[in-house]
Amino acid sequence: MRKILTFILLFIVMAGFKNDKSAYRFFDAEGKKAKYSKIVEEIADADIVFFGELHNNPICHWLQYELTKDLYREKSGNIILGAEMFEADNQLILNEYLDGIISAKSYKNEARLWPNYKTDYAPLVDFAKDSNLQFIATNIPRRYASVVYKNGFEGLDTLSAEAKLYIAPLPIEYDAEVNCYKSMLEGNENMDSHITETLPMAQAIKDATMAYNIAGYINTDKLFIHINGSYHSDNFEGILWYLNKYSPGLKIVTIASVEQVGLDDLDEEYLNRANFILVVPKDMTKTH
C-alpha cells in the first residue's frame, strides 16, 4: 500500500510539472530541443556568438544577461561585449562610463541610449562595468544610415574623413540578391513609400559597420558576445555576410528569437534560421 501511495504521489507531482507554463524553449537548427547547458558549452568554444533578440521581449533580455554571466564564468572572464544598440561615435562616452570617469547621469544624457535601455540593456552594461569588460559600440551612427536611406551609398561620399571613421570602409560590397535585403523589397503591393531600393542599402551599411567593428576586436583568447535584433543575424546573413568577408574562418554561433503560440515543437518556418532558436510564447508581455 505504501508503494502504491508513493507511486500515486509521484505521478501527481510529475503531472504538475508537465502542466507548468514555460516561458521559453531552445531548439537546434533541425528543430530538436536543446538544453541551455549544452548551448553554453558550444558557445564557449566559439569566437563569437550573435544573440538575435526581439527588442521588446523580456525573456530575450533576461537570457542575454544570464548567458553573459554564465559565459563569463565558463571563459574565466575572457569575454568582450558588443551591441547594435550603441553607435560607434559614442564609444568614448561608453568607455568613460565603464571606467568610472563620468557619472551615470552624464552617460545617460549624452550617449543616445534606446528608450528601453534601463530595463533591457543597462544590466549588461553594468555587468561589463563591474567586471572590467570591454563593451563595443558597433553600430553606425543613425544619421549616416539615414544618409544612405535618402541618397543611397553615394550619399556617404559627401561625408568628411572624420565622419567616415565611424563607418565600414567605403565602398562597401553590396549584393541586393542576399535574401535579407531582397526580402525587404518583396511583397510591396501597397507601394509603401517608405520601402524603396535604398532601404536595404541602409540596412546593409548597418550590418557592414557592425561586422567591421566586431572584426577589429576579435581575439582568439576572448569570446565576443554580440547583441542585435534577430533580423541582423538570422539565416546567417546580415552582419555575418560581412563578417565572413572582413574576418573569414571564424567559429560563429547564432541564436535567433521567435514567437510561437506553443512551445512543444519548432514551427517549420524557423528551421535552420540559426544554430539555436529561442522560442517564447506569442502572448509574452513586452518591455515597451
pLDDT tens track for 63-120: 999 999 999 999 999 999 999 999 999 999 999 999 999 999 999 999 999 999 999 9
On whether residue 128 sits in a domain, the answer given is yes
pLDDT digits 0-9 by tens, 105-151: 999 999 999 999 999 999 999 999 999 999 999 999 999 999 999 99
On whether residue 194 sits in a domain, the answer given is yes
On whether residue 253 sits in a domain, the answer given is yes
On whether residue 39 sits in a domain, the answer given is yes
On whether residue 17 sits in a domain, the answer given is no
pLDDT digits 0-9 by tens, 171-216: 999 999 999 999 999 866 554 667 889 999 999 999 999 999 999 9
On whether residue 186 sits in a domain, the answer given is yes
Nine-digit cell string for 240: 555575418
Q: How far apart, in whole angstroms, are the C-alpha atoms of residue 93 and residue 143?
A: 18
Residue 196, amino acid:
T
pLDDT digits 0-9 by tens, 157-168: 999 999 999 999
pLDDT band at residue 15 under the 50/70/90 scheme: very low
CATH assignment at residue 219:
3.40.50.11550
Q: Show the domain range for 184.
A: 22-281
pLDDT of residue 288: 87
Exposed e or buried b for every residue in 212-251, given b needs 16+ CB within 10 A?
Answer: bbbbebbeeebbbbbbbbbbbbbbbbbbbbbbeebbeebe
Residue given cell 568610472 in the structure block? 100
Residue pair 259/54 in contact by the 8 Å Cβ criterion? yes
pLDDT of residue 100: 97
pLDDT band at residue 219 under the 50/70/90 scheme: confident
On whether residue 286 sits in a domain, the answer given is no
On whether residue 13 sits in a domain, the answer given is no
pLDDT of residue 220: 76
Burial grade of 8 (CB within 10 A; 0-12, 13-18, 19 or more): exposed
Q: How many domains are there within the chain?
A: 1
Residue pair 26/35 in contact by the 8 Å Cβ criterion? yes
DSSP H/E element including 151: helix 142-151
Q: Is 132 left (phi over 0), alpha (psi -120 to 50) or beta?
A: left
DSSP H/E element including 51: strand 48-53
